[in-house]
Amino acid sequence: MPRQDDPRQRLLADVAKMVQRGQGRKDVAQALKVSVWEARQLITQARVLLENVPAVKFDATDPQFRSILLRQLNRPRTIKTLAGKLNVSIEEVEAALTDLEDRGYIVKRVGNTVQLGKTVQTGGRRIHFPNHFHGKPMQFGVVSDMHMGNKHSRLDVLEAAYDEFARRKIKTVFCPGNYVDGEARFNTHELVVHGFTDQALFAIDNWPQRKGITTYYVDGDDHEGWYYQREGVEFGRYLYLEAKERGRDDLQYLGYLEADILLQAPNGDCTIKVMHPGGGSAYAISYSAQKMVESLQGGLKPAILLLGHTHKMDYCFPRNVHTLQCGTVCDQSTFMRKKKLEAHVGFVICTFQQDINGAIVRFVPEWFPFFDRQYYGTRDDIQKQMVVGG
């Protein structure tokens, strides 16, 4: 039995008696005027004192424990300090931190301290695409800046894009960021879903899925990137994990801000860079894309550069880089109107040819423009009237 001169042990002895009487967490919490979580911890420890009563197994994935741990991680703390504050072992804290990282939270480790981080390493992962048919044209699709969760998002255009990709037998689609709208002061009243969990689930429900098509996406520093800066969640990885749990393996997260896709030919290779740059629109549509390519260090240029963010469609060829601004799948929002920013709504199919040494010797961007919703409603009504002879 515990030493009665130890206040903590006396408390555990009292809890043990309540457990023997069949009282649960809520009863203990009410009697001791503590939270349900604290009562759970006390019961766990008190049961160890009772002969032939098994202890409650620690669960690193317990949502209530995760919530309390996240609050403790708002500033740097040692693992030992966290273990003491949460009444668990150091090993159990490590297990809980690993669970957080697996769920997309950014756990920053500096020396012997941990805290919730707000940034992740840029650059993403590199994917290799072997060219088994050098000298023959290949294709990929692009959808960008869908801003799903905003009432101005054009989900009808997104569905039409994937219908066309499937019809063309395109297997690979790239998205250079801002696939959800995120949440900030100026867009709150235009959102149909709030919070990073609901926005991730909304994206999973509304991002089209077609047999044989895999979509590779990066995160922008804005919109989905706002969740990095506030909640400390790597949104793209969080969405990937949630999608995978729901049986969707077609959504593949490439990383934060940019990622490289290596196109391998028999005697060489080249790179497609998928990127969500910063900055606003310039006085000329092509200006920001041109300046981006001009700024690239020698030897680091991609052969193809896919740019999101600007909501413009444009193709140019500075420094021998096939540079494509990929438009948007979202109508002009109130914020864009205030900033006098035009939205080029549509999607792209790119056809390219790579020679045996890896160079891109042909590149054809095919733009599918869309107009406002009213245009299609009026057009379809007219077609219906013509069919019925109205």
* pTM metric for this prediction: 0.72
pLDDT of residue 1: 39
Classify residue 1 by its DSSP letter.
Answer: -
Residue 74 has pLDDT above 90, yes or no: no
Locate CATH 3.60.21.10 in the chain.
127-376
- Determine the average pLDDT of the residues in 189-206: 92
Residue 217 has pLDDT above 70, yes or no: yes
Indicate the residue type of 99.
D
- Determine the average pLDDT of the residues in 366-373: 92
CATH topology for the 67-117 domain: Arc Repressor Mutant, subunit A (1.10.10)
Hey, how many other C-beta atoms are within 10 angstroms of the C-beta on 27? Answer: 15
Residue 253 has pLDDT above 80, yes or no: yes
322 membership: H or E segment, kind and range? strand 322-326
- Helical H segments across the chain, by residue range: 7-20, 25-32, 36-49, 63-72, 79-86, 90-102, 155-167, 196-206, 224-231, 235-245, 287-295, 334-338, 373-388
Residue 4 has pLDDT above 80, yes or no: no
What's the first-to-final CA gap in the chain, in angstroms? 91
Cα–Cα dist 210/166, whole Å = 7
Looking at per-residue pLDDT, the higher value among 346 and 45 belongs to 346
Cα–Cα dist 354/28, whole Å = 70
Provide the 3-class DSSP secondary structure of residue 250.
Answer: coil
Q: Rounded to the nearest 5°, which phi and psi values hold at 12?
A: -65, -35
- pLDDT band of residue 69 (cuts 50, 70, 90) is confident
Residue 190, CA distances (Å) to 35, 172, 177, 185 in order: 37, 31, 19, 11
pLDDT of residue 310: 93
pLDDT of residue 193: 92
pLDDT of residue 48: 66
pLDDT of residue 124: 64
Cα–Cα dist 151/331, whole Å = 9
Residue 54 has pLDDT above 50, yes or no: no
254: left (phi over 0), alpha (psi -120 to 50) or beta: alpha
- pLDDT band of residue 53 (cuts 50, 70, 90) is very low
Residue 340 has pLDDT above 80, yes or no: yes
Count H helices and E strands in the chain, helices first: 13, 15
Average pLDDT value for the chain: 85
Looking at per-residue pLDDT, the higher value among 389 and 296 belongs to 296
Locate CATH 1.10.10.10 in the chain.
67-117
pLDDT of residue 168: 96
Is residue 163 within 8 Å of residue 143, measured between CB atoms?
A: no
CATH topology for the 127-376 domain: Purple Acid Phosphatase; chain A, domain 2 (3.60.21)
Residue 294 has pLDDT above 70, yes or no: yes
- Given the DSSP bridges, would you call strands 304-307 and 268-275 parallel, antiparallel or unpaired? parallel
- What DSSP string runs through 162-175? HHHHHHTT--EEEE
Q: List, for residues 152-177, the tens digit of each pLDDT value.
A: 999 999 999 999 999 999 999 999 99
Cα–Cα dist 118/136, whole Å = 44
- Determine the average pLDDT of the residues in 286-308: 92
Of 46-55, 305-314, 329-338, 339-348, give the lowest mean pLDDT range.
46-55
Residue 5 has pLDDT above 60, yes or no: no
- pLDDT band of residue 384 (cuts 50, 70, 90) is low
- pLDDT band of residue 390 (cuts 50, 70, 90) is very low
Q: List, for residues 98-140, the tens digit of each pLDDT value.
A: 888 877 788 888 888 888 887 776 766 667 766 666 678 999 9
pLDDT of residue 55: 45
Looking at per-residue pLDDT, the higher value among 338 and 8 belongs to 338
- pLDDT band of residue 284 (cuts 50, 70, 90) is confident
Looking at per-residue pLDDT, the higher value among 217 and 106 belongs to 217
Looking at per-residue pLDDT, the higher value among 275 and 112 belongs to 275
Residue 180 has pLDDT above 90, yes or no: yes
Cα–Cα dist 364/350, whole Å = 6
Provide the 3-class DSSP secondary structure of residue 56.
Answer: coil
- Helical H segments across 50-104, by residue range: 63-72, 79-86, 90-102
- pLDDT band of residue 276 (cuts 50, 70, 90) is very high
